[in-house]
Amino acid sequence: MKKINNPFTNIDGYNCFGCSPHNHLGLKLEFWLNEEDNSIESKWNPDNCLEGFKDVVHGGVQAAVMDEIASWVIFAQLGTVGVTSKMEVRYLKPANMSYGTFTVKAKLISREVPYAKISVQILDGMNEPCTEADIHFFVYPETFAVKKFNYPGIKTFIE
């Protein structure tokens, strides 16, 4: 697996809830490219302040994690920025924190300009699926992404 850089850390005032390493309330997610299946992955150890029921990650937090990693598919593989237009989440079983580190996987399923569909899965520490989502994005042209969202270019993500 190849580490994906977070070039947004170079932007003054950057404080993303999902991926900023400096947001003390955030998820601090990091991402890797799985070159075998071209998916993007993250390992995640949520703090217990993100519980719904005891030992279970809150469903809304799970949705935020899936939305975040799907965005990184757009950044690092499509070379631009997109915004979520629809998210279909399926909660398969409780996401028990005591089972260990979660693995989150995202993969591009389809691309029809200006849209993209990304499939995301959260696996618990026993490698069992807890949550799945199909996330639909409206994808902006790269020139717009650079101008309006400070998109740093695809080459800054994977060396």
Rounded to whole angstroms, the Cα distance separating 96 from 124 reads: 7
Based on C-alpha coordinates, what's the Rg of the chain?
15
Helices (H), the chain: 59-73, 142-149
pLDDT at 2: 96
Which residues, given as ranges, of the chain have pLDDT below 50?
none
Domain that holds residue 125: 2-156
pLDDT at 29: 98
pLDDT at 158: 87
- Tell me the CB-side half-sphere exposure of residue 42, using CA atoms within 13 A: 29
Q: Which two tokens stand for residue 63?
A: 């949705």
Domain count, the chain: 1
Q: At 102, phi and psi to the nearest 5?
A: -85, 150
CATH number at residue 50: 3.10.129.10
Cα separation values, 44 from 41, 104, 123, Å: 10, 7, 10
Strand-pairing partners, residue 121, are 105, 132
pLDDT at 140: 98
pLDDT at 159: 74
Rounded to whole angstroms, the Cα distance separating 79 from 117 reads: 15
The whole-angstrom distance between residue 92's C-alpha and the CA centroid of its chain comes to 19
